[in-house]
Amino acid sequence: MSVKIVAEVAQAHDGSLGSALSFVDAVARAGADAVKFQTHIAEAESTPHEPWRVRFSSQDETRYDYWKRMEFTEPQWREIRERAAERGLDFISSPFSIEAAEMLTRVGLSAWKIASGEVRSRALLDCISESSLPVYLSTGMSPLAEVDESVRLLRDRGLDLTVMQCTSMYPTPAERVGLNVLSEFRDRYPGCSVGLSDHSGTIFPGLAAVALGADAVEVHVCFSREAFGPDVPASLTVDELAELVRGASFLDAARAAPVDKDAVAEELAPMRRLFMKSVVAAADLPAGTVLASEHLALKKPGSGIAAERLGECLGRRLARDVARDHLLTEDDLVPA
């Protein structure tokens, strides 16, 4: 499949290594190409004063406490990466600090994802550029001028870059998905791939993006709509992810096979004879009858005189007796 389907676990693991590994397995079974995480090191990226975007439980006193609980150790990240490799998945992550990027470099990954809030983080972009790995650049909160600057920096480093249309609303309403931006990015950044990072919580924008020729589609995933966490409303279930993959594969095949209508019509000629109609006798008619409209009807199949030739039959004389519902042929008519 030419389009890459990336399943974003984000914070859906809720700080559990076992849950993170289960997500890797589920994403692989659903048929996605890559599993993506977020790599947080609370002390490196946040202060105790960081406000909540959404306060969703009393378990964590501060946002900093939440990021602390979401951390995995370097050996744990390596276990997740190894599990992804075993399952045939690319392992992608978004670092939210230089320290996180350095750790991921040691762990090893297939590609970087730059989160919407890090588009202006020059030091982070410089750090990841040293790895020469592909980069997915999210643009969810950035005006075009900021995107231009980051694209220019990353392309100057010779990186394989995919610019992702994204709207940082959770969930994203249909009117804010921005499918039009895919073609705008393709024109604006020649030589770059383009993709959609979708937070709608449905499969529809992803399928539309595939139909429009996106190179990558990223969606959040959860195990259930009843699951805990801030990402659930903007996520697909694993079953929905599998449906997205099936739909993307279908659309990918359809886009890769342009249809020649004339050739298909020729191929379907036997079916045409079944579904088209013929001129038939509306009643038992004796030889010599001069055919008028009341003598004729149009019925299937289309293996007699074609229905569109009804007018040519009017005024013609029958060369033989014909029974009701007989499909007329030229042999039934006196030559004009």
pLDDT of residue 49: 81
Taking a C-beta distance cutoff of 8 angstroms, is the pair 281, 322 a contact?
A: yes
Task: State pLDDT tens for residues 247-258.
Answer: 999 999 999 999
- The tokens describing 91, both together, are 């392992």
pLDDT band of 318, cuts 50, 70, 90: very high
pTM value?
0.86
Check pLDDT > 80 for residue 56: no
Taking a C-beta distance cutoff of 8 angstroms, is the pair 287, 262 a contact?
A: no
Count the alpha carbons within 13 Å of 26 in the hemisphere toward its beta carbon. Answer: 23
DSSP 117: G
Task: State pLDDT tens for residues 75-86.
Answer: 999 999 999 999
Distances (CA, A) of 254 to 32, 263, 331, 333: 19, 16, 44, 46
Check pLDDT > 90 for residue 62: no
pLDDT of residue 126: 95
d(CA 65, CA 171): 24
Task: State pLDDT tens for residues 162-202.
Answer: 999 999 999 999 999 999 999 999 999 999 999 999 999 99
φ, ψ for residue 264 (rounded to 5)? -65, -40
Q: How many CB atoms sit inside 10 A of residue 235's CB? A: 28
Q: Domain 263-332, what architecture? A: Alpha-Beta Complex (3.90)
Domain with CATH 3.90.1210.10 in the chain: 263-332
Which CATH number is associated with domain 4-255?
3.20.20.70
No. of H helices and E strands in the chain?
Answer: 13, 11
Domain with CATH 3.20.20.70 in the chain: 4-255
pLDDT of residue 99: 97
Query: Which residue intervals of the chain are DSSP H helices?
Result: 17-30, 42-45, 63-70, 74-86, 98-107, 122-129, 144-156, 180-188, 204-211, 238-255, 261-267, 269-275, 310-313
- Mean pLDDT, to the nearest integer, of 267-290? 95
